A and B are shown apart, each in its own frame.
Chain A
Amino acid sequence: DTGVSQDPRHKITKRGQNVTFRCDPISEHNRLYWYRQTLGQGPEFLTYFQNEAQLEKSRLLSDRFSAERPKGSFSTLEIQRTEQGDSAMYLCASSFQGLENTDTQYFGPGTRLTVL
Chain B
Amino acid sequence: DAKTTQPNSMESNEEEPVHLPCNHSTISGTDYIHWYRQLPSQGPEYVIHGLTSNVNNRMASLAIAEDRKSSTLILHRATLRDAAVYYCILRDVAGGTSYGKLTFGQGTILTVHP
Contacts and interface: CB of A to CB of B under 8 A. Distances in A.
A110 B100 CA distance: 20
A55 interface: yes
A48 B87 contact: no
A107 interface: yes
Interface string A79-113: 00000000000010100000011101111111000
A42 to B, nearest CB: 3
A24 to B, nearest CB: 14
Contacts of A4: 43
A43 B89 CA distance: 12
B101 A45 contact: yes
B106 A109 contact: no
Contacts, number: 59
B46 A42 contact: no
Contact of A42 (B34, B42, B106): B106
Interface residues on A, range: 20 to 34
B44 A101 contact: no
Contacts of A108: 43
A101 B99 contact: yes
B91 A44 contact: no
25 contacts: A33-B101, A42-B107, A43-B102, A43-B104, A45-B101, A45-B103, A56-B100, A56-B101, A91-B43, A91-B44, A93-B43, A93-B44, A100-B93, A101-B91, A101-B94, A101-B95, A101-B99, A102-B32, A105-B36, A105-B44, A105-B46, A105-B102, A107-B43, A107-B45, A109-B42
User: What are the 10 A-B residue pairs with the smallest beta carbon separation, nearest first?
Assistant: A42-B104, A107-B43, A101-B93, A45-B101, A104-B46, A43-B104, A107-B44, A91-B43, A102-B32, A110-B43
Given A43-B102, A101-B95, 9 more contacts: A42-B87, A44-B104, A45-B101, A56-B100, A58-B101, A91-B43, A91-B44, A105-B36, A105-B102
Interface of B: 32, 34, 36, 42-46, 49, 85, 87, 91, 93-95, 99-107
Interface of A: 4, 31, 33, 35, 41-45, 48, 55-56, 58, 91, 93, 100-102, 104-110
